[in-house]
Amino acid sequence: MDAAELFVFADAARDNGEYATAESAYRALATNPDGELRAEARFRLAMMLHDKLGRTREAAVLLRRILDDKPDASRVRIELARMQTALGNIRAAERELRAAQASGLPPEVERLVQFYASSLNAQRPHGFSAEVALAPDTNINRATKSNTLGTIIGDFDLSEDAREKSGIGLSTRAQMWGRLPVTSDLELRGEVNGSGDFYHRGDFDDYALGVEAGPLWRSGRDTLALSAVVQWRWFGGDPYTYTYGAEASFRHPIGPRSQLRVDAASFRSDDRINNLRDTDRYSVAFGLDRAFSSQFGGGARITGQRSVARDPGYSTTSGSISTYVFREFGGLTLVGSAGYSHLEADERIFLYPERRVDERLNLDISSTLRGLEVGTFAPILGLSYERNWSSIEIYDYRRLAAKVGVTAAF
């Protein structure tokens, strides 16, 4: 059979419920040297896997491969947004819809996009994602290089563990979530998330476990989510902090390509090492995301935070601004980000000669190599630089860290 006849055979098998036969035929067509035929076979296979067999994750991978070759294929991007929604990846779905609209759509397709954008609650009831990577780091404890710490009574010698340490660790991230629809505009959501950096010597292991739960309301295209949050953090195997509180997040589309985000939070943090650092934290952030084209987008965020500790020397006020851009190059997604923050303490800690004032710079670049996917996982590479200038020597540090690992593709 030629390609046209094989398409007819595959479609007939699909329509008759012979999905295994249809899948074999579509996969054979997906190896055709003609790019148009290959894309069409992947598209039809993806639609069958999602609509008929519930294999949404595999279907999303196939659509992503089409977009690697044809980034302006708006129909493919819209269907990918639908599948991202079914997988619970709401932010990714919104990004795909903005990218589709940035490439220009005919009126009838624009209406379809608006329908999907207002129906992002058609999600599956639960989901899971994970990331594992090797992480070489020049400063795993974010400590100073100095051998001494200046105080009002002279210089103190710092122990080896209090100074900058380099190492290669295992960086892990995982998230499990679920949802319970209450009405068409209201649902209850819950999430358990964990992260950790582990090293050969357990002295600098840093890991955390968090639980979040609360309602999410939709009104037209706007969403408002409220969550109660509890988090435990350990450092070096010992309890470090216990944090609890609440946060709110509001999202509002601004035209077809942009979205405004407003986040606010209030937390109480119990420091298990030093009671003087027990803190009430309040923060608010404003962000804007925009798709400039079907392959290029970015955003910016401004954040303000107030921390009130038992000891005024640990009470701080800070503000930050950050920006990011992403660009797709075939089977590669490249993301770059930069951030700057300023922090000031209320008062001088008794031993230190000055009140703490920090200026911090963060630079990150990361990539997902979708062209090297294995199943639904893809390799990731990352490089980050962090520099903190501080009036207090012990807080003055710099670090350069890399990441090489795998993450769920969707």
Q: Same domain for 61 and 210?
A: no
Q: With respect to residue 122, please indicate whether it lies within any of the assigned structural domains.
A: no
Q: With respect to residue 313, please indicate whether it lies within any of the assigned structural domains.
A: yes
Give the Cα-Cα-Cα angle 255, 260, 263 (nearest 5 degrees). 160
How many whole angstroms separate alpha carbon 263 and alpha carbon 285? 5
Give the Cα-Cα-Cα angle 241, 247, 252 (nearest 5 degrees). 145
CATH code where residue 363 lies: 2.40.160.40
Q: Same domain for 146 and 75?
A: no
3-state secondary structure of 49: helix
- Tell me the whole-structure pTM to 2 decimals: 0.72
How many whole angstroms separate alpha carbon 398 and alpha carbon 91? 32
What's the average model confidence in pLDDT over 181-198?
Answer: 92
- Give residue 221's pLDDT band: very low, low, confident or very high (50, 70, 90): confident
How many whole angstroms separate alpha carbon 40 and alpha carbon 337? 35
More reliable by pLDDT, 120 or 82 = 82
- Give residue 103's pLDDT band: very low, low, confident or very high (50, 70, 90): low
How many whole angstroms separate alpha carbon 281 and alpha carbon 307? 4
3-state secondary structure of 72: coil
Q: Same domain for 97 and 201?
A: no
Cβ contacts of 406 within 8 Å, gap of 6 or more: 131, 132, 133, 374, 377, 378, 379, 380
Among 117, 147, 166, the domain-final residue is 117
Residues 211, 167: contact at Cβ < 8 Å?
no
Give me the domain span that covers residue 106.
3-117
How many whole angstroms separate alpha carbon 98 and alpha carbon 291? 6
Residues 210, 230: contact at Cβ < 8 Å?
yes
Residues 215, 188: contact at Cβ < 8 Å?
yes
How many whole angstroms separate alpha carbon 320 and alpha carbon 386? 14
Cβ contacts of 41 within 8 Å, gap of 6 or more: 7, 10, 26, 27, 29, 30, 32
Using alpha carbons, select from 92, 86, 173, 96 the residue that is nearest to residue 126.
Answer: 86
pLDDT over 50 (residue 256):
yes
Q: How many CA atoms lie within 13 A of 336 on its CB side?
A: 4
Q: With respect to residue 351, please indicate whether it lies within any of the assigned structural domains.
A: yes
- pLDDT for residue 122: 45
Overall domain count for the chain: 2
Q: With respect to residue 330, please indicate whether it lies within any of the assigned structural domains.
A: yes
Q: With respect to residue 222, please indicate whether it lies within any of the assigned structural domains.
A: yes
Q: Same domain for 361 and 401?
A: yes
Q: Where are the beta strands (DSSP E) in 6-46?
A: none
Q: Same domain for 144 and 91?
A: no
Any idea of the CA torsion for 51, 56, 58, 64, to the nearest 10 degrees?
90
- Give residue 106's pLDDT band: very low, low, confident or very high (50, 70, 90): low
Q: Same domain for 139 and 209?
A: yes
Q: Which long-range CB contacts under 8 A does 5-14 form with residues at least 24 apart?
A: 7/40, 7/41, 7/44, 10/41, 10/44, 11/44, 14/44, 14/48, 14/52
The pair of structure tokens assigned to 388 is: 């903190």
CATH code where residue 79 lies: 1.25.40.10
- Give residue 110's pLDDT band: very low, low, confident or very high (50, 70, 90): low
Q: Same domain for 311 and 225?
A: yes
What confidence tens digit (pLDDT) does each residue in 116-174 have?
Answer: 554 454 455 777 788 999 999 999 888 888 876 767 676 776 777 678 888 999 999 99
Element (H, E) at 93: helix 90-102
Q: With respect to residue 233, please indicate whether it lies within any of the assigned structural domains.
A: yes
More reliable by pLDDT, 375 or 171 = 171
Using alpha carbons, select from 73, 66, 82 the residue that is nearest to residue 103.
Answer: 73
**Residue pointed to by tokens 């920090």:** 358
Among 64, 86, 117, the domain-final residue is 117
Residues 393, 144: contact at Cβ < 8 Å?
yes
Q: How many residues does the structure list for the chain?
A: 410
Q: Same domain for 223 and 97?
A: no
Q: Same domain for 283 and 222?
A: yes
Among 65, 86, 117, the domain-final residue is 117
Q: Same domain for 133 and 113?
A: no
- Residue 223 pairs in a beta bridge with 218, 251
Q: Same domain for 26 and 169?
A: no
Q: Same domain for 84 and 132?
A: no
